[in-house]
Amino acid sequence: MEQVIQHSNPQSWYLVLSTILFSIGVMGVLFRRNAIIILMCIELMLNSVNILLVSFSAYAGNSEGQVFVFFIMVVAAAEVAVGLALLVSIFRNTASTDINVLSKLKW
């Protein structure tokens, strides 16, 4: 017999929050030029998905989603480490974190 868990908040709230965060992330990635901010926006998108996963996991009474979140966090941490290292390197070469400066790789 399934155990019914009482939730204080409706799930839609989490969905809305997640959507808002994700959209902010997308907009940031699209419209900001500062590479650091873009990196942060990517983190935002990742975390919005995490919220989604956790909420679904809680509402479905299934722990898989929460386990998955940990994986995403690990990957995100690794990704940030690489991303920041790249940024440092770029900054040393161009003295800037503006992504539009890096336009040499083109036709």
Query: Rule CB under 8 A: is residue 72 a binding residue for another protein?
Result: no
Comparing CB distances to another protein, the nearer of 4 and 105 is: 105
Shortest spacing between CB 32 and another protein, in angstroms: 9
- Helices of type H across 1-107: 11-31, 35-60, 64-94
Task: Write out the binding residues for another protein, residues 83-102 only, by CB under 8 A.
Answer: 99-100, 102
104 Cβ contact partners less than 8 Å away, ≥ 6 residues apart: none
Residues in the interface with another protein (CB under 8 A) total 13
Which residue from 30, 71, 82, 92 is in contact with another protein, where contact means CB under 8 A?
30
Q: How many angstroms separate the CA atoms of 53 and 60, rounded?
A: 10
Interface with another protein (CB under 8 A): 26, 29-30, 33, 38, 99-100, 102-107
